[in-house]
A and B are shown apart, each in its own frame.
Chain A
């Protein structure tokens, strides 16, 4: 074989083989400071210019939802709260109606442990202000007075966009559901625009569509008590969301005592038996509200609430570090070699 052919042949063969391959799909990632949190969007196997345009549209939409659903600033929900206190019929802005109707359903399904009507109580604890609370916590009398008013989602009546509360103490705060609903909407927007593989992570809670190439999306669940370490990993199927509520997310310390932001509507005080609850569900709004409701329910009652909310995938870490988990969730979790005290039980 002539010298030049000996050299050219392998090059030709190599080039031919390469041409048979598909170029590796690119991951497009963008981080946004929107919706009062950090939103990470990962889009897989989509043209970069299309992904960038989508992310711009998503950012605008999230900003709109953040303003519309803000519980105490002027805006559609802020106005709704002002008018609910007057206990007369009024026309609410249509943008808040999905929150109210879904909020009522989830309040009912969770036996009232997810209660978006507790805005005044959250205000007493200092969570209705721009600056993080420093304390002191509300007095026992203030809590007692609020409990006697007993604001619930069933106090609200709706007829189309006409709304009325029979209880002046109702103040809506959808902080435990709005992020989920926003993530659901973002995912819908991506799908409608032909994006098939993506993850939207809003402040640590996420929903995924499609896959990462030839494998499912793989998610790390952070340890509630060990900085920077991961408790477990889970593979997420198409259109599944993973939401966690934890006592480490927002809290303040006053006179040596720590007060976190997940308030038990039955007692008026921060729920004290859980450190984190993770829920996997097709609807991010349901996963969001359920994680809060089960956190409040704690290790003794979570199964009842999970059953009522028809949840299949739940993991609760209690204050002693024991992990309470449904059999379906246990099958999906990779403990990454962590030594975990497991209590598997069917709701």
Chain B
């Protein structure tokens, strides 16, 4: 076996786990928050990294807080504030929206549930 053969084999072996993950494992991204404007995904954030983000919607900016593995709307330029009343989301499959501002959030990854009923 030549050096080139050995190099090719090493590369092939190193690539195998990635190929396996890409083709054979279902997509999972652990504990993420997906933020949509209208129906378009605009941000995907780590649910375990505390932060507050400001997202522009059709009426103005919605404020979304991520803290201790939970996410919620803290401010939004709507009149009803239903999005804020709904409070924290932490379960995979759960979602909330500020409908007037057309901003929505969804918790994904390592889901205990496929969908939430409320």
Contact = CB atoms under 8 A, between A and B. Distances in A.
A98 interface: no
The size class of the interface chain B forms with chain A is 35 or more
Given A30-B39, A31-B95, A228-B89, A23 B23 contact: yes
B9, B80, B117: most-surrounded residue (chain A CB, <10 A) = B117
Interface in A233-248: 233, 242-244, 246, 248
B32 to A, nearest CB: 12
Interface string A122-138: 00000000011000000
Interface string B80-105: 10100111111101111101001010
A154 to B, nearest CB: 32
A7 B16 CA distance: 14
Contacts of B96: 38
Contacts of A21: 24
Contact of B99 (A33, A131, A221): A33
A33 B102 contact: yes
Given A132-B80, A228-B88, A244-B118, A27 B26 contact: yes
Contacts of B112: 218, 220, 233
B65 to A, nearest CB: 13
Given A18-B24, A21-B24, A227-B88, A38 B115 contact: no
Given A30-B39, A33-B97, A38-B104, A132 B79 contact: yes
Contact of A230 (B23, B34, B86, B113): B113
Interface in A23-66: 23-27, 29-33, 36-38, 40, 42, 59
A24 B25 contact: yes
A176 interface: no
A51 to B, nearest CB: 13
A199 to B, nearest CB: 5
A308 interface: no
B43 to A, nearest CB: 13
A199 B114 contact: yes
A23 B39 CA distance: 29
A243 B99 CA distance: 20
B1 interface: yes
A24 B72 CA distance: 32
A179 to B, nearest CB: 13
A284 to B, nearest CB: 12
Contacts of A249: 82, 118
A25 B26 CA distance: 6
Contacts of B106: 31, 40
Contact of A32 (B16, B39, B86): B39
Contacts of A218: 112-114
A4 interface: yes
A146 interface: no
Contact of B24 (A24, A37, A250): A24
Given A24-B24, A31-B39, A32-B39, A228 B90 contact: yes
B116 A204 contact: yes
A7 B113 contact: no
Contacts of B72: 228
A222 B118 contact: yes
Contacts of B97: 33, 37-38
Contacts of A31: 34, 36, 39, 95, 104, 106
A326 interface: no
A11 interface: yes
A34 to B, nearest CB: 8
Given A38-B104, A201-B116, A227-B87, A220 B93 contact: yes
A246 B117 CA distance: 11
A132 B9 contact: no
A132 B70 CA distance: 27
Interchain residue pairs A-B with the least CB separation, the first 8? A132-B80, A227-B87, A228-B88, A220-B113, A222-B118, A204-B118, A38-B97, A24-B26
Given A31-B34, A31-B95, 4 more contacts: A33-B97, A38-B97, A222-B117, A249-B118
14 contacts: A11-B12, A18-B24, A24-B26, A36-B99, A132-B82, A212-B114, A217-B114, A218-B113, A220-B93, A222-B118, A227-B86, A228-B72, A248-B85, A249-B118
